[in-house]
Structure 1
Amino acid sequence: MREWMWALGLVTLWYLLAQIGIAFALGVSPEAGAWPRDLGAHLFVGGLLFMMARSVMRFALAMGVLFSAFTVSNAIKLAVLGGPVMPDDFVAAKNLFLLLEGWQLWGSVAMLALPVASLLWMFAWRQPRAWVALGGAVLAVTAVVSHPAPVVGWMDARFGDWVWNQRGNYEMRGLPLHLVQETARNLSRRAQPPQMAEVDQALSLLGAKPPGRLFKAALQHPDRAGRNVHMFVLESFWDPLPLKAAGLSADPLDPAFRKLWKAAGNARALSPVFGGYTANAEFEALCGFPVQTDAVFFEGRLRRDVPCLPRHLGEAGYRSVASHPNAAPFWNRINAYRRVGFEQYWSDRNFVLDDMNGEFLSDASLYRQVLERIGPELDGGRPLFNYVLTYFGHLDYPLNEARPPVITAATDNGLVSAYANTVYYKSRELMHFLAELRRRDPDAIVVLFGDHLPSLGWNHGGYAESGLLAASRSEFDDAMFRTLVATPLIVIDGRRGPVRTGDLPIYALPALVLDLLGDERETMLRFAAHADDVVRVRPLPGVHFTVEGKALTVCRDGEAQIGCEASSAWVEAISVLKRDLFNGGQHALQAPDRLRRLQTVELEVEELGSDGLDDGIANETDNDV
């Protein structure tokens, strides 16, 4: 009994010190009312671990290492990205080892290896009680995996579910309950892919009768088909000038970029992510469908070969090349790029790493090397889809000696001044390259946009200082949701110059490119983009908003709101098609063929006359079934 008191007392002491520590250092912790249930969950897990332990001492060390690894990782993600650890993060965690180096890499390895090693060291291999406890844990996990829906219903009823605010969920549940509840929810959503009838219903709701159009005027110029297309996804590229409280000494953006952006109407791309998960912005830009989950779509939801923009253009004779000077398998890009139709992928192993800012290749070097590779193809031959994802611009915004800081800030937030100087060089290197590219390829379509906003400190740091964002999503007003995801967007239509697109969700870009090319072929790339030429919907995890001119309507999942019915139905229909196309039966791709068959039957019926009417319809119906 005394040993149990010691063990549970150590858990309680660790819990109090850990919550005080992360609250002081990172400004995150469960709300006061959640502490009793969160402590109770830790005591339960701790008791289970103690049953497996050889001694109090070994238990204390293993418990401290295990609980600390989860708590610190969760607190860092909350502070940097605004949301807690989610089940999909465990699948994506391996990517950290490809991104980090030095002490950060070894720290991440230790965060994973030490808990496992300490549990093995703690386990009482010869004690029956240890195996009974382990068996009980395995049975509990098996029950959740086998029947996740009842677990979700029971936990939602007792601990709540703030659909659009996962940070709020963590704060009112605590970490162990949050992980169990969201893991069960994740498992319960693994439904069967949608069937043909469900897909047809979604297509009908969207009015998806290809070809749809965003810019109808562009289709009046079919002679432009075959022009090269250059798409540049700019890492963490954003305009820092609205950070009024930062007191920046100068405008970080190159004046030439300002002028070009103004000619494009100061348009903004509406990204699916903030501060990270670049691959989700990529997926939208390449495949024309929105991402609305807090997970990387490339990492497990893209399971089929699909006619995304690279493959669609490839069918028209284009050569498609992707360039990104990061480790090739990061975010599963090797497989993802192949599935969406790229012919070639140039990663870090294909570039000379000659101009590094920390571990990131400079944009100037990347652009120069890409232009050297594609240069011979710009003057004729096969048309080219040149897709470039930059690497320079990642947190914590390092610069090398050739790029000394030129902008100062009045704020104590060092990330703000570091980022301002990063943008200073990124924008100038971009404009220098863009001038050369347009000189050599004046008729090309050029698309460039920021993948997401930069992280500027714990709990939206620099943004909160200037009132652009609140520290927590639960405190966001409607305008903040748009601010959270809006980055600069410029689309150049060859010699005609910048296109005034207005604020545009990234998933609408593929359809825009096709319209500018005069490409009227039937394609899934217009299913989402052409739903409405005026109202644009930006789905996000647990929330979506619509933009109609200057009007903004934010719809939070799980809350009844006036004016959200149509957009919510649209989001659900898009979700059905996305599951069908990217990891299902791809029934939506068969829809045009089925429509043509039905039209053929109608013509045959007209020729046969009324006598053949019933047989013709019956046969076609049987074939569809």
Structure 2
Amino acid sequence: MPTSASRSPARSESQSAAQSPAVGVTRPRAGLRHAREWGYALGLVAAWYALAQWASAHFLDVAPRPDAWLRDLSAHLLIGGLLFLMARSVARFGVAMVVLFSAFTVGNALKLAVLGGPVMPDDFVAARNLFLLLEGWQLWGSVAMLALPLGALAWMFAWRSPRAWGAVATVAAGVWMIVAQPAVVTSWMDARFGDWVWNQRGNYEMRGLPIHLVQEAARNLARRGAAPASDEVDGALALLGATQPSPFMRAAARRDGRGGRNVHMIVLESFWDPVALKAAGLSADPLDPAFRKLWKAAGNAKVMSPVFGGYTANAEFEALCGFPVMTDAVFFEGRLRRDVPCLPRHLGEAGYRSYASHPNAAPFWNRINAYRRIGFEHYWSDRDFELDDMNREFLSDASLYRQVLERIGPELGNGQPVFNYVLTYFGHLDYPLNAQRPQVIDTRTDNALVKAYANTVYYKSRELMAFLGELRERDPDAIIVLFGDHLPSLGWNHGGYAESGLLAPNRAQFDDPMFRTLVSTPLVVIDGKRGPLRTGDLPIYALPALILDLLDDERETMLRFAARSDDAVRIRPLPGVQLALEGKRLTVCRNGELLPECEPVAAWVAAIETLKRDLFSGAQHALQAPAGKPMLQTVELEAEEMTVEAALDTLATEGAPDV
């Protein structure tokens, strides 16, 4: 009987002979299987892309240009390839890819259709505000757009696969490169994909969404350079014609016990004159005749806002701090990092008590921190009001005005002046009304938002005039400033405006008058018993200086820096474009256009931007007294960085903020 030892060589030879063909067959089959899986994965991306772009173009009229399809598809395929390297299987990859890509595409298309601009990097920082604004199916839909992609990625990820972690390392390396050299990345991408500064929709259309987001993220990082040095600030002040300010925060500028004129600033959510919508066929003028008469006495003046359809906080920043916003980002969210002598603090040094009222969630647009930084003593938000007259989730203006008067009424004549700032909430998209406010305005247009908005204005203007009547009776010497924060959104791609020829569907098609229409809302300034003033059209950031003029407040202040530019020319900066208004003459300076009249405008914009970075996030050289001592002691601790111990120390020394 053969031994096991004698059988081993034979068995090994036979096994090797039997197995060798199988090895040779297995490797090609595995290669074919992998190739087939990659084909399926990338084919799914291509199929999704074709369907998504068709749906977006068909239903919302939003899509990249045909000459951008190849680069946009290539970017999606590249991202899809990285995702597939992380995936457990083709099936899991397919589900996660569709959910993730669709969330970005739908969100971008909706923003473009409603507000006219694509998703920007700052939108991801500001996205949490949506959860404070929405309710019902809109809230749950927004939560789903965030939670589902994250959940799908976690479900797809091959946690034990070296290949998956290698793909993650590749993505991390790309992110590190952008963070480490944002200016280089921006310059390289601008040279290859272009940059249409004043038309972000055009940027999206010629780049596609992934390239657009990477390019603008690099640009955002590149902008966050070093704060301006003192010599840069001095140069900006000199260009603006401003001398080095005296210590306007000095207590000597204030007379204790001196009475002053109260100041009331009323910012009206989405307040505009819908009679301009000629194609809408309005059955009646929605504006209260009393408001129409008051506005006519003010010369039908308008303010020029930095925003359209949303981002109210940027209009607020301008009205309270006297500087223009020129970027597609909410200034309160990440660019207001220092305590600054904006209008509430400036008036506070003259003995005013300041109140901010807005019946929305307190943290929305970072208002708790922003209002504190600019000097408000009291901030009343939704939790401080009786929500007794709601138009869906929006407190009516009538209730807001009544409750504000109940609170500040006793202080209007007690010898200490008041700065009363009211930001209304009623009038927000999509303009709901409760049963006590039936529709009274009919339209011929099929645009439901136009009809809803016209009826909202009907009630909003009447509630405003009832409040003004009582306020002027109780406080006849007060300065009252009221204006609309921005135009309302009236449907996809400027909907109702395009229907009446006021705006083109796409910003690239705007003529000069359309840019002026885009930013103009009603303005009324009442100078106590003298009545309404004929101010002419003003950018919102010019309002603080106007209020100080009416108060005969001659203290040097940063609130006059931007307004000092040239009384004959009013400049309305927007992202990538500036409107220069001289009398009835309008010049639109689009970045990249070499118009001689735009050269001083560009220099003014650069100087203002330098001062803004210095004042609101830099060393505040512009607030230094001649001796070099700071005119304002600032709190360096950011809310998100404040430790428990530091917070307790702050509360012990300063008291709890009244918010």
- TMscore range, shorter length: over 0.9
CA RMSD of aligned residues (A): 1.6
Matched, 1:67 2:101: yes
Tell me if 1:57 matches 2:103: no
Match for 1:117 among 146, 151, 156? 151
Aligned counterparts of 2:542 and 2:183: Cα–Cα separation in 1: 34
* Deviation sequence 1:117-157 (CA, Å, 0-9, x none): 10010001111111111111111111111111111111111
1:612 matched to which residue of 2? none
Matching of residue 429 in structure 1 with residue 463 in structure 2:
yes
CA contact (8 A) 1:225 1:518 kept: no
Aligned to 1:566: 600
Give the deviation of 1:593 after TM superposition: 5.3
Q: In 2, are the aligned partners of 1:202 and 1:574 still within 8 Å (CA)?
A: yes
User: Match of 1:84?
Assistant: 118
State the distance in 1 between where 2:67 and 2:537 align. 41
Partners of 1:51 and 1:133 within 8 A in 2: yes
Asked whether the 8 Å contact 1:326–1:391 carries over to 2, the reply is: yes
Match 2:358 to one of 300, 303, 324:
324
- Between 329-338 and 130-139, report the one with greater CA deviation: 130-139
Q: Which residue matches 2:657? A: none
Cα pair distance change 1:580/1:370, threshold 3 Å: same
Corresponding residue for residue 295 of structure 1:
329
Q: 1:209 offset after TM fit, Å?
A: 3.0
State the partner residue of 1:145.
179
Q: Spell out the pairing of 1:279-294 with structure 2 (5 A cutoff).
A: 279-294=313-328
Q: Structure 2 CA distance, aligned partners of 1:351 and 1:161? A: 46
Give the match for residue 344 of structure 1: 378
Question: Partners of 2:243 and 2:402 in 1: how far apart?
Answer: 42
Identical-pair percentage: 78
Instruction: Specify the code of the residue in structure 1 equivalent to 2:360.
Output: N
Q: Within 2, Cα distance between the matches of 1:143 and 1:595? A: 40
Which whole-Å CA distance do the structure 1 matches of 2:99 and 2:93 have between them? Answer: 10
Alpha-carbon contact 1:535-1:548 (below 8 Å) kept: yes
AA aligned opposite 1:420: A
Q: Could you list the per-position Cα deviations for residues 262-283 of structure 1 after superposition, in whole angstroms to 9, with x for gaps in the alignment?
A: 0000000100000000000000
Aligned 8 A contact 2:244 2:622 in 1: no
Q: Tell me the equivalent position of 2:522.
A: 488
- Asked if 1:448 is matched to 2:478, the reply is no
Cα distance in 2 between the residues matched to 1:77 and 1:255: 35
**Following the alignment from structure 1 to structure 2, what is the Cα–Cα distance between the partners of residues 533 and 27?**
42
Aligned to 2:63: 29
Stretch of structure 1 that moved more, 513-522 or 557-566: 557-566
Aligned to 1:519: 553
Which region of structure 1 is more displaced relative to structure 2, 131-140 or 396-405?
131-140
Question: 2:402 & 2:73 partners in 1: Cα distance?
Answer: 56
> What is the CA–CA distance in structure 2 between the aligned matches of 1:450 and 1:432, rounded to whole Å?
17
TM-score, normalised by the number of residues in structure 2: 0.88
Instruction: Find the partner of 1:438 among 472, 475, 488.
Output: 472
CA drift of 1:538 comes to 0.3
Equivalenced residues, count: 587
The alpha-carbon deviation at position 595 of structure 1 amounts to 12
Q: Aligned partner of 1:304: which letter?
A: R
Look up the equivalent residue of 1:355 and give its one-letter code. D
The aligned amino acid for 1:265 is: G
In the TM superposition, what are the counterparts of 1:196-595 in structure 2 within 5 Å?
196-209=230-243, 226-590=260-624
Secondary structure of the 1:272 match is coil
Secondary structure, in 3 states, of the residue corresponding to 1:194? Answer: coil
Question: What is the identity, as a one-letter code, of the residue corresponding to 2:610?
Answer: V
Structure 1 residue 225: Cα displacement? 7.1
CA distance in 1, matches of 2:351, 2:340: 17
Segments of 4+ in structure 1 off by > 4 A?
A: 591-597
Secondary structure in structure 2 of the residue aligned to 1:469: coil
Contact 1:211 1:520 (8 Å CA) reproduced: no
Alpha-carbon distance, 1:344 to partner: 0.3
Work out the CA distance in 2 between the residues paired with 1:81 and 1:533.
Answer: 32
Runs (5+) with no aligned partner, structure 1: 213-223, 598-625
- Decide whether the 8 Å contact of 1:211 with 1:526 is kept in 2: no
**Which stretch of the first structure deviates more once superposed, 557-566 or 396-405?**
557-566
CA distance in 1 between partners of 2:185 and 2:346 (Å): 43
Paired AA for residue 165 in structure 1: N
- For 2:338 and 2:220, the matched residues in 1 are separated by 21
C-alpha separation in 1, matches of 2:609 and 2:526: 31
- What residue in structure 2 maps to residue 193 of structure 1? 227
Report the secondary structure of 1:8's partner residue. Answer: helix
SS in 2 for 1:563: helix
Q: 1:387 to 1:344 in 2, by over 3 A?
A: same
User: Is the 8 Å Cα contact of residues 75 and 210 (structure 2) preserved in structure 1?
Assistant: yes
Does 1:130 pair with 2:164? yes
Write the letter of the residue equivalent to 1:550: K
Task: State the 1:559 CA deviation.
Answer: 2.5
SS of aligned partner of 2:597? coil
The gaps in structure 2 that reach 5 residues or longer are 1-34, 247-257, 632-659
Query: Which residue of the other structure, out of 38, 44, 59, is the alignment partner of 1:4?
Result: 38
- Distance between the aligned counterparts of 1:159 and 1:284, measured in 2? 33
Q: Distance in 1 between matches of 2:389 and 2:592?
A: 49
> One-letter code of the match for 1:425?
Y
Please give the per-residue CA displacement for 1:84-103, whole angstroms capped at 9, x wherever unaligned.
00010000000000000001
Q: CA deviation at 1:306?
A: 0.4
Deviations 1:564-602 (A, max 9, x none): 0001100100000000000000000115556999xxxxx
> 2: distance between equivalents of 1:168 and 1:55?
37
- CA gap 1:583/1:211 in 2 versus in 1, 3 angstroms: closer
Pair 1:596–1:358, CA change in 2 (3 A): closer
Equivalent position amino acid for 2:297 in 1: A
**Structure 1: how far apart are the matches of 2:421 and 2:242?**
27
Query: Which residue identity is paired with 1:477?
Result: D
Larger Rg belongs to: 2
